Every structure is written in C-alpha cells, then in structure tokens.
Chain A
C-alpha cells in the first residue's frame, strides 16, 4: 500500500492539473465574450460534445458476440424516441435505462 504522503501528493497533483485545465479557457475568454467565434462555439459545441460522450460511455460495447450491443441500441433508441415525443428528461432516462436493463436480463 502506498504511503499516505505519496497519496496526498499524487491527489494534489491531479487536483492542480485538473483545476488549471478547467480554468484555462476562462482566463482568455473574458476578453472574447462577445466575439462571433465564442457565440458560434456556444451554439455548436454542447450538442456535439454530448454526442461524443454518448459514444464514449458505450466504447466498451462488443458488437461481435451475443447480444451484439442490442440492449444498448434499444436503450439509446428508446430514450431518444421517448424524449422526442414527451420532452421529459427524467422520464426518458428512467424508461431508457429500464429498457436497457430489461433487455440485458432477457438476452
């Protein structure tokens, strides 16, 4: 087991690097607040980043062996369909997750 001193130092390094990464854009951005570039990014970034995060959370999926990613596909499709229809975030997430878990247990 690593010593407490090492653990605290390593955690502090992670804290410092993470905070700097999260703070970096704001230091530059204050001067660019009303620029058209930032406006364009604010419109186009969030949706794209969410799509990337969806793929990221599913990166471990194995499509070559049973159940061939079917539960996850069902879960994503169910969540999306429900959200396009009812526009209720909590309902979409709960029902989509339930659909995924059910498909996994049956598969």
Chain B
C-alpha cells in the first residue's frame, strides 16, 4: 500500500528561461477552460439583468467560479447575508484542503502571500500543486495566479459585452476544463507514483455523485481526506510493527 516518494521530480520538456514565460506556458491549458467559462458567466449575468460592469466586480470580489454562478440566483432572490455566508462556506469549503499542499512558503512578501491566498482557486491549485515546489519561484506562482484571474475576467467581460452575438458552435469548449484536470491528474501521478490515491479518489467521487450530487465536491473531498487519514495511520502502525 505504501509507496516510495522519490526526490527527483519528473520534468516535462526543457525548463523555460523566464518565470513569467513559464507561467504563460503553465496556464495556456487552463486559459482554454477559464476563458469560455468566464464568457458563459458574463452572458448569464447580463441576461439576468445586471449591468455589464458587474461582471468584473463579481470576478474581482468573489473570484471563485462555481460560487459566482450560484451568486446570481442568490442575489436576485435577496438572500439574507447569513445564508449567503453559509452557502459560501459550503461551496468553497474544499479550499481548506488546497492549503494543505499549496507551496505558499515559496512566495516572498506578505502582500504577495495575501494575493496568492485570495487567488487560490481550483485551477491555480491544480497547476501549482502538481509541479515540484523547487521548480516554482515566487514570481512564477504569482504570475500563474494573475494570468488565471485575467483569463477569467477577460472571458467575463467579453461575455457581458458581446453576449448574444456569439456563434453557437462554441458550446462544448468548456470541456477543456475537464481535459485539464485529466492532464493534471496524470502529471500528479507521475510526480508521486501513488496508485491507491487516485483509485480511492475516484471511488469517493462516485459515492458522492450518487449520494449528494449537489454537494459533490465537498462530500467527495471530505471522504477522500478521511481515506488519506486512514492510510496515514495504517502506514504509521505498519512501520512501528516493522521496527
């Protein structure tokens, strides 16, 4: 069950010279998913009766994709602020797990750290956490996060401003986000070489899909963390027995 962790990271392709250029390369795939999703958000927001400039305001203040989509309905229904807080807590609870393995210690300066925490989305976590931390400079991580947010805001603005005039053939482009997570799962496996992890994660996700489709992320992540805790305790007990 236990797997060895190697110190040598899997490097794909040559290491790019500048950290910003590396960040552009890191985020191109995500951008393909974030831009169309932002676009869909901008279209939806303006179609719900909001002025176009609310799109960047939403994306700068909330900056959490799935929550922004939910917020439209919540706000139109004048949901009490306490319920808004509770919904946010439940929908974004998964971000608590991200901090456990996000290399914030690589980032220099309190303001930059604060931005990095603020901009710690699914996508930013996905790109950063699947790379060996020693390859990630402070600038590269921040550039990755700034670029991700720009794709999202640019998509939202485009959707809000051009909205209805978009060609219909573009639907399905948001599959890029799924493809991105597939790619990052494979990269993550290559870095850690842990087989039980992804298998258990898939089981957790399928259980959550059947039991609590609307809360899939929180339930699946909670279950997965529980399996990790169990694995860790088992491993500790086994190594104690071996001594």
Do chains A and B stick together as partners?
Answer: yes
Residues on A facing B (Cβ under 8 Å) = 1-2, 6-7, 9-15, 17-19, 21-26, 29-30, 33, 37-59, 71-72, 75-76, 79-80, 83-84, 87-90, 92-94, 96-97, 100-101, 104-105
Complex Cα–Cα for A10 and B83 (A): 10
- Across the A-B interface, give the 9 residue pairs with the lowest CB-CB distance, nearest first: A25-B99, A48-B201, A47-B188, A55-B205, A50-B185, A96-B179, A51-B201, A17-B88, A42-B101
- Chain B residue nearest in CB terms to A40: B232
Between-chain CB contacts (< 8 Å), 5 pairs: A15-B62, A43-B5, A46-B126, A47-B130, A97-B179
Q: Which residues of A contact B179 (CB under 8 A)?
A: 75-76, 79, 92-93, 96-97, 100
Interface of B is mostly: helix
B105, B169, B183, B232: residue with the most chain A Cβ atoms closer than 10 Å: B183
Mask for B165-206, Cβ within 8 A of A = 1, else 0?
A: 000010011011111111111111101101001101110111
Given contacts A57-B178, A89-B180, A93-B180, 20 further A-B contacts (CB under 8 A): A12-B61, A13-B81, A15-B62, A17-B85, A18-B63, A21-B93, A22-B95, A25-B96, A46-B192, A47-B188, A47-B197, A47-B201, A50-B182, A56-B205, A57-B181, A79-B183, A89-B187, A92-B179, A93-B32, A97-B176
Of the residues B5, B84, B194, B209, contact of A14 by C-beta under 8 Å: B84
Residues on B facing A (Cβ under 8 Å) = 5, 12-13, 25, 28-29, 32-33, 49-50, 54, 57-58, 61-64, 67, 71, 74-76, 78-79, 81, 84-85, 88-89, 92-93, 95-101, 104-105, 117-118, 120, 122, 125-126, 129-130, 169, 172-173, 175-189, 191-192, 194, 197-198, 200-202, 204-206, 209, 213, 216-217, 220-221, 224, 228, 231-232, 235
User: B54 → chain A, closest Cβ, in Å?
Assistant: 8
A45-B100, A55-B216, A83-B183 known; A11-B57 Cβ under 8 A: yes
Q: Which residues of A contact B175 (CB under 8 A)?
A: 72, 75, 96-97, 100-101
Q: Which residues of A contact B99 (CB under 8 A)?
A: 22-26, 29
Q: Which residues of A contact B63 (CB under 8 A)?
A: 18
User: A51 → chain B, closest Cβ, in Å?
Assistant: 4
Do residues A46 and B129 form an inter-chain contact, with CB atoms below 8 A? yes
- Chain A residue nearest in CB terms to B81: A13
Complex Cα–Cα for A1 and B57 (A): 16
Complex Cα–Cα for A30 and B113 (A): 13
Complex Cα–Cα for A13 and B86 (A): 10
Q: Which residues of B contact A46 (CB under 8 A)?
A: 101, 125-126, 129-130, 184, 188, 191-192
Q: Which residues of B contact A42 (CB under 8 A)?
A: 100-101, 129
User: B198 → chain A, closest Cβ, in Å?
Assistant: 5
Do residues B172 and A100 form an inter-chain contact, with CB atoms below 8 A? yes
Do residues B182 and A76 form an inter-chain contact, with CB atoms below 8 A? yes
Do residues A80 and B173 form an inter-chain contact, with CB atoms below 8 A? no
A45-B101, A76-B182, A97-B175 known; A21-B95 Cβ under 8 A: yes
